[in-house]
């Protein structure tokens, strides 16, 4: 129990709809700051009141339970208010990453048949409100635009006006079946194909968000450094919903920047920072890190890509308990595997944990579909109460990915040890076939990253007329250091078999990213593989 005298267990929450979870916390700690953003702060009581006011205004313009409403916002206080307002009226949120442009935005608005969209008015070149207005003619179901920061036109409502007007109106609370009624559509990134909307219920949102609590023993006393985009499943569950469930506080960044994160941690005494390995790599390599007092930071999760062991060791050296986990849009805004708090360092360096209570995980042979043995590599399958109901308006993909018995094909290659701990080796499509030998890029990446002049690395396959594929190491050097292919091969040669040594080296200043700017885009148009395959400047074995 923390100093506030508040302890929240899952049993306190399991029968609540998402909007009710905020009401509960507002009753427990009404005057406590829930979210701080730039110079603004909002208490639990105020967030509950303002989200109810916006909910009443949404009902007044005709938004009803079950209708889809898009949230196309960067991190801000208004996102919290809008999120809980929509949850209270039973609308289904269609998440849209604020970095998305016209193609991705148009697809999600049309696929979800969104009746309304929340969006920010920005400057020229970054005005998502203007982008929405441009495409409204091609989105038949979109009736209303709720704009933050200005903007006018037919069907456009000011967020600020809805907030002030709604406080004078009565909110009609709908009946929500937490097991059946959808809370949100979480869209996959669609980097190699058409995005798919995972259908997630209120029950799954609460269960998923609470799954983050136990792995780092989060309590009401914690202050979360909100560096993840809240429109992403990971950010939504860990930074938007989780803190509210347990009456914690969030200090929010609009977008990640390492030095901004340092300032936030120091000034707000943040205790937990959930992120991708890339976030931590950028922080640990930042030249100004030692200028800031980061001693309040005690723990954090790592997900989004396979985590280098060096990152977890860096945390250990600073008394920061870092632990990887596995999750996906298909498993909702939560985790599927997690290490129990206090798991030894050597296990956390290799594993993403084990299946959550009530969840099952297995690995199957890609060719036969049979379950593989302990320690053998196969495709990860997962089944549990948090797994999606299906893909919105996409029965073909639903039947392809989700078996009738509830097992979900994840596309991740894993092994599972005798204690149930899962090790991830990459995606099915990550595998490099070099002359018939299957190469797991993560094994090579973890070695190259140990080189003292390497900051980041991404290993991909490039076309080879004889072997099928060559192994190309794409490297971001530290401080613009000079690195050769010969040097990289010599560094690795005593650690792995000869056929796993890189055939090619490409030096880059940055990697292509999926929307949001953190997760590396390996495949598809503009991805690392396409870049490496087409760049004539890569160094190749002679």
Where residue 275 sits, what CATH number does that domain have? 3.40.50.12780
| Last residue of one domain, picked from the residues 398, 427, 456 | 427
Asked if residues 192 and 525 have their Cβ atoms less than 8 Å apart, the reply is: no
What is the rounded CA–CA span in Å between residue 290 and residue 310?
Answer: 18
What is the rounded CA–CA span in Å between residue 192 and residue 430?
Answer: 12
Percent of the chain's residues with pLDDT above 90: 75
Asked if residues 434 and 471 have their Cβ atoms less than 8 Å apart, the reply is: yes
> How does pLDDT run across 281-322, given as a tens digit for each residue?
899 999 999 999 999 999 999 998 889 899 999 999 999 999
Alpha-carbon distance values, 360 to 80, 93, 384 (Å) = 32, 28, 6
Domain assignment present for 92: yes
> How far from chain centre, in Å, is Cα 313?
22
Query: Does 421 lie in the same domain as 529?
Result: no
- What's the pLDDT at 306? 85
Rounded mean pLDDT, 369-373: 95
Query: Does 252 lie in the same domain as 400?
Result: yes
| Last residue of one domain, picked from the residues 382, 404, 427 | 427
Domain assignment present for 3: no
Stretch among 137-151, 189-203, 457-471 having the lowest mean pLDDT: 189-203
Phi, psi at residue 454, to the nearest 5°? Answer: -105, 125
Domain assignment present for 458: yes
What is the rounded CA–CA span in Å between residue 50 and residue 16?
Answer: 20
Asked if residues 57 and 169 have their Cβ atoms less than 8 Å apart, the reply is: yes
- What's the pLDDT at 191? 47
Query: Does 422 lie in the same domain as 444?
Result: no
Query: Does 456 lie in the same domain as 423?
Result: no
pLDDT over 50 (residue 10): yes
Domain assignment present for 323: yes
Domain assignment present for 116: yes
What is the rounded CA–CA span in Å between residue 55 and residue 394?
Answer: 30
Domain assignment present for 164: yes
Domain assignment present for 14: no
The count of other CB atoms within 10 Å of the CB of residue 136 is: 17
- What's the pLDDT at 59? 96
Residues with Cβ within 8 Å of 281's Cβ and at least 6 positions away in sequence, in order, are 308, 311, 455, 456
Find where tokens 């089944």 sit.
Answer: 383
Tally of domains within the chain: 3
In the 3-class helix/strand/coil scheme, how is 240-295 assigned residue by residue?
A: HHHHHHHCCEEEECCCCCHHHHHHHHHHHCCCECCECHHHHHHHHCCCCHHHCCCC
Asked if residues 320 and 297 have their Cβ atoms less than 8 Å apart, the reply is: yes
Rounded mean pLDDT, 397-410: 93
Query: Does 507 lie in the same domain as 358?
Result: no
pLDDT band at 395 (very low <50, low <70, confident <90, very high): very high
pLDDT band at 238 (very low <50, low <70, confident <90, very high): very high
Stretch among 51-60, 81-90, 133-142, 224-233 having the lowest mean pLDDT: 133-142
Residues with Cβ within 8 Å of 370's Cβ and at least 6 positions away in sequence, in order, are 364
Averaged confidence pLDDT in the chain: 92
Biggest alpha carbon–alpha carbon distance for the chain? 76
pLDDT band at 124 (very low <50, low <70, confident <90, very high): low
pLDDT over 80 (residue 344): yes
Q: Is 55 helix (H, G, I), strand (E, B) or coil?
A: helix
pLDDT over 50 (residue 2): no
Phi, psi at residue 215, to the nearest 5°? Answer: -65, -25
In the 3-class helix/strand/coil scheme, how is 60-123 assigned residue by residue?
A: HCCCCCCCEEEEECCCCHHHHHHHHHHHHHCCEEEECCCCCCHHHHHHHHHHHCCCEEEEECCC
> How far from chain centre, in Å, is Cα 148?
24
Query: Does 456 lie in the same domain as 342?
Result: no
Where residue 158 sits, what CATH number does that domain have? 3.40.50.980
The model carries a pTM of: 0.88
Query: Does 236 lie in the same domain as 291?
Result: yes
Query: Does 387 lie in the same domain as 323?
Result: yes
Phi, psi at residue 442, to the nearest 5°? Answer: -60, -30
The range of the structural domain enclosing residue 109 comes to 20-31+44-176
| Last residue of one domain, picked from the residues 108, 142, 176 | 176
Query: Does 117 lie in the same domain as 67?
Result: yes
Comparing 236 with 497, which gets the higher pLDDT? 236
In the 3-class helix/strand/coil scheme, how is 161-182 assigned residue by residue?
A: HHHHHHCCCCCCCCCCCCCCCE
- What's the pLDDT at 190? 53
Query: Does 222 lie in the same domain as 154?
Result: no
Domain assignment present for 37: no
Query: Does 462 lie in the same domain as 372?
Result: no
Query: Does 74 lie in the same domain as 27?
Result: yes
Stretch among 48-52, 199-203, 328-332, 436-440 having the lowest mean pLDDT: 436-440
The candidate with the shortest Cα–Cα distance to 77, out of 116, 49, 36, 117, is: 36
């Amino acid at each position: 129990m923390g100093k506030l005298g508040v302890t929240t267990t899952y049993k306190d929450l399991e029968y609540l709809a998402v909007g009710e979870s905020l009401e509960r916390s507002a009753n427990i700690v009404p005057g406590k700051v829930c979210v701080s953003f730039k110079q603004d702060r909002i208490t639990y009581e105020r967030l509950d009141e303002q989200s109810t006011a916006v909910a009443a205004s949404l009902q007044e313009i005709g938004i009803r339970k079950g209708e889809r409403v898009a949230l196309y916002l960067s991190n801000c206080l208004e996102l919290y208010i809008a999120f809980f307002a929509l949850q209270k009226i039973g609308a289904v949120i269609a998440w849209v990453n604020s970095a998305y442009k016209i193609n991705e935005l148009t697809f999600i608005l049309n696929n979800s048949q969104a009746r309304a969209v929340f969006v920010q008015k920005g400057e020229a070149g970054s005005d998502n409100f203007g982008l929405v207005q441009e495409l409204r003619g091609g989105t038949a179901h979109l009736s209303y635009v709720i704009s933050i920061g200005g903007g006018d036109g037919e069907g456009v409502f000011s967020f600020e006006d809805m907030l002030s007007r709604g406080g004078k109106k009565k909110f009609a609370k709908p009946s929500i079946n937490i097991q059946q009624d959808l809370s949100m559509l979480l869209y996959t990134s669609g980097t190699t194909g058409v995005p798919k909307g995972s259908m997630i219920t209120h029950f799954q949102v609460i269960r998923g968000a609470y799954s983050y609590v136990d792995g780092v023993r989060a309590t009401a006393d914690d202050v979360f450094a909100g560096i993840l985009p809240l429109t992403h499943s990971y950010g939504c569950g860990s930074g938007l919903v989780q803190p509210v469930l347990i009456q914690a506080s969030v200090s929010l960044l609009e977008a990640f920047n390492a030095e901004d994160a340092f300032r936030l941690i120091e000034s707000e005494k943040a205790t937990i920072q959930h992120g991708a390995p890339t976030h931590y790599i950028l922080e640990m390599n930042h030249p100004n890190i030692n200028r800031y007092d980061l001693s309040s930071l005690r723990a954090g999760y790592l997900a989004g890509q396979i985590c280098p062991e060096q990152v977890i060791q860096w945390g250990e050296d600073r008394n920061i308990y870092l632990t990887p986990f596995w999750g996906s849009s298909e498993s909702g805004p939560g985790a599927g595997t997690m290490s129990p708090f206090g798991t030894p360092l050597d296990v956390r360096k290799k594993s993403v944990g084990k299946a959550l209570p009530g969840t099952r995980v297995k690995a199957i042979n890609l060719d036969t579909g049979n379950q593989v043995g302990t320690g053998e590599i196969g495709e990860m399958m997962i089944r549990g109460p948090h797994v999606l109901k299906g893909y919105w308006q996409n029965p073909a993909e639903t039947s392809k990915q989700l078996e009738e018995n509830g097992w979900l094909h994840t596309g991740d290659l894993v092994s599972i040890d005798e204690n149930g701990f899962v090790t991830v080796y990459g995606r099915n499509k990550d595998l490099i076939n070099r002359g018939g030998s299957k190469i797991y890029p993560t094994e090579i990446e973890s070695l190259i990253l140990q080189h003292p002049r390497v900051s980041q690395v991404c290993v991909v396959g490039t076309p080879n007329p004889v072997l099928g594929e060559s192994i190309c190491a794409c490297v971001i050097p530290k401080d613009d250091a000079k690195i050769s292919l010969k040097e990289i091969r010599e560094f690795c040669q005593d650690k792995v078999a000869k056929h796993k040594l890189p055939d090619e080296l490409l030096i880059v200043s940055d990697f292509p990213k999926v929307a949001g700017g953190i997760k590396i885009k390996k495949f598809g148009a503009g991805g690392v593989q396409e870049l490496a395959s087409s760049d004539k400047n890569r160094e190749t074995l002679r």
